[in-house]
A and B are shown apart, each in its own frame.
Chain A
Amino acid sequence: MRRVAMTVLLSMLTAGPAAAVQNQCAVCHATLGEKHQAILKAFDNDIHRERGLSCDSCHGGNPALDDAAAAMSPDAGFVGAPSKADMPKFCGKCHSNPAYMKKFNPSLPVDQELTYYTSVHGQRLKAGDAAVAACADCHIAHSIRPAKDPTSSVYVKNIPQTCGKCHSNVQLMAPYKIPTDQLAQYTSSVHGKALFEKGDTAAPVCTTCHGNHGAVPPGVENIGQVCGMCHVHNAEFFQSSPMAKPWAKRKFHMCATCHHEHDIQHPTAQLLSPDNGICMKCHSPSSPQIAVASAMQKKLESIEDAYQRAQKDILAAEEKGMDMAEARDLWDASRMAMYQSKTAIHHFSAASVAEVADPGIQNAEKADQAAKDAAADFQNRRIGLGVASLFITFLVVVIYLKIKDFESSQG
């Protein structure tokens, strides 16, 4: 049975687009034990094989020769498996060659090797550290899939696990003295929940902020730019706020100082609390800045409360079968105002927050009133039904009495 399976596998491998002649690499390596067989099996699903490449395309040698020594001789161009230090150059032989790569996909980038050496991984590899990640650590040699393929190790949903494979490994990270809780923190963050729980593949992953081949920590000076790629207004408002200058002077991480890095949580009004809010880290309780924070907190709490009250009442009315389309429109408008209010916080001005929050509070209150009216209308309909049933029953009884009366008057 096993022999039949290997024969099928070999026939698949040797019958690939590049296999004009029988691939002797596969023939011999299939007999060299489970590790080799696993490689052959994995390669069957590799994008390189799909595009017509075979073992010799990367490892050199002559796959047409059945003499192993001759097939894997330097004369046959055999290079074998690359060392970690040689891997970027090994892959870059094709991937850094624009003319060659154009044959497969003219829009593929060809700067991976170049940017890799700008990364912390590349810099350390260059300095002789063979424990860092190189091409095959992230792309998984012999089973490489394109980044858009959901089974790929570098598909957006798989990236946190791929990076975490090393970065969550306490033993592996110990010499670098860097934390290993990034994956756990990310998973419970607002971004991680968006990706893993809501399936939002637009949510940022490790490479969105750190880069992929050129992965580096964003750094103090760039973090606002990185977050600002998506959170445009937050970054813009902050930069034009009175906080920008003192922040830069003290070299604070623009967004991360308040929102943290990997464990970014959905921001709540509590963040501005004069009791235990983030502002208290630097400002004294009696300072005017804390008074502003407190005013902004109250306004945010007001809109959040009004929004949630409206939501609860709309859902309750909808459960009763009432049409809440108009109320939902108002509620949607209050939701937008709530988002905008949270963004307006970055002006660090109570008036700016109130300017967007107040209309939102009004809309939420109107939506809530509409939901309450609908609930009251539902109640009125029930009472109406009860009264109608009473009249009908009453009528039936009276008709019965009338018939009896008629019968008695006849008799």
Chain B
Amino acid sequence: MESMTRKRFLNLLLGGGVLGCLGSVIYPVLRYLLPPEQVEAEPDTLKAGTMKDFPIGASKIFKFGRQPVIVIRDVKGVFHALTATCTHLDCIVQYSKEADLIWCACHNGKYDLSGKNISGPPPRPLQAFTVSVKGEDVLVVRTA
């Protein structure tokens, strides 16, 4: 009777240990397999909006992975997409419809619509992305 109790006790401990070990393995595996709460960090293509969101002279800043990107429909109706972070001191740039160029309010840096730094302190151009319009959707594609 005593031996049976000891056996049973050991079996219980063994079962508990096996379950605990399985749990320790299965839980991290499940966490790895389940999709993360946040969106994919570095996508190659993103929908910036539809044509309705971009009338002539409009611009919109949105996140492309971890980068803020400015999408512009210039006064001629042509789309441009560029990194929205000024290459001088990392301020967020904006589109000036009146001057038809990209402007940084922090220190009056200016870029043309291809992203080239043309005036003020920015030392480098803005990185360009490709914009393609499919139907009504405006898509921004990371340039290789």
Residues on A with C-beta less than 8 A from B6 are 405
A230 to chain B, nearest CB (A): 4
Q: Residue-by-residue, is A381-394 near B (CB-CB < 8 Å gives 1, otherwise 0)?
A: 00010011011101
Which one of B50-58, B105-113, B131-139 contacts A?
A: B105-113
A191 to chain B, nearest CB (A): 11
A202-B123, A391-B20, A409-B3 given as contacts; is B14 within 8 A of A229 (CB)? no
A202 near B120 with CB under 8 A, answer yes
Q: Of B14, B17, B120, B121, which one neighbours A200 at CB under 8 angstroms?
A: B121
For B85, give the chain A residue with the smallest CB separation.
A332
Say whether A336 faces chain B, with CB atoms less than 8 Å apart: yes
Residues on A with C-beta less than 8 A from B121 are 200, 202-203, 230
For B25, give the chain A residue with the smallest CB separation.
A388
A297 to chain B, nearest CB (A): 22
Say whether B29 faces chain A, with CB atoms less than 8 Å apart: no
Say whether B27 faces chain A, with CB atoms less than 8 Å apart: yes
Q: How many A-B residue pairs have CB under 8 A?
A: 78
CA distance A230 to B106 in the complex (A): 8
Residues on A with C-beta less than 8 A from B7 are 405, 409
Residues on A with C-beta less than 8 A from B27 are 384
CA distance A63 to B80 in the complex (A): 60
Say whether A155 faces chain B, with CB atoms less than 8 Å apart: no
A202-B123, A230-B121, A326-B38 given as contacts; is B14 within 8 A of A398 (CB)? yes
**Please, how many residues of chain B have a CB less than 8 angstroms from a CB on the other chain?**
34
Residues on A with C-beta less than 8 A from B106 are 339
Q: Of B10, B18, B21, B91, which one neighbours A339 at CB under 8 angstroms?
A: B91
A392 near B13 with CB under 8 A, answer no
B24 near A391 with CB under 8 A, answer yes
Say whether A401 faces chain B, with CB atoms less than 8 Å apart: yes
CA distance A202 to B18 in the complex (A): 65
A395 near B120 with CB under 8 A, answer no
CA distance A18 to B85 in the complex (A): 49
B17 near A230 with CB under 8 A, answer no
Say whether A21 faces chain B, with CB atoms less than 8 Å apart: no
Residues on A with C-beta less than 8 A from B3 are 409
B118 to chain A, nearest CB (A): 13
A230 near B108 with CB under 8 A, answer yes
Say whether B66 faces chain A, with CB atoms less than 8 Å apart: yes
Q: Of B14, B68, B88, B122, which one neighbours A402 at CB under 8 angstroms?
A: B14
- Enumerate chain A interface residues (CB-CB to B < 8 A): 200-203, 229-233, 325-326, 328-329, 332, 335-336, 339, 343, 384, 387-388, 390-392, 394-395, 398-399, 401-402, 405, 409
10 residue pairs from A and B, CB less than 8 Å apart = A200-B121, A201-B123, A332-B68, A384-B24, A387-B24, A388-B20, A398-B17, A402-B14, A405-B6, A409-B7
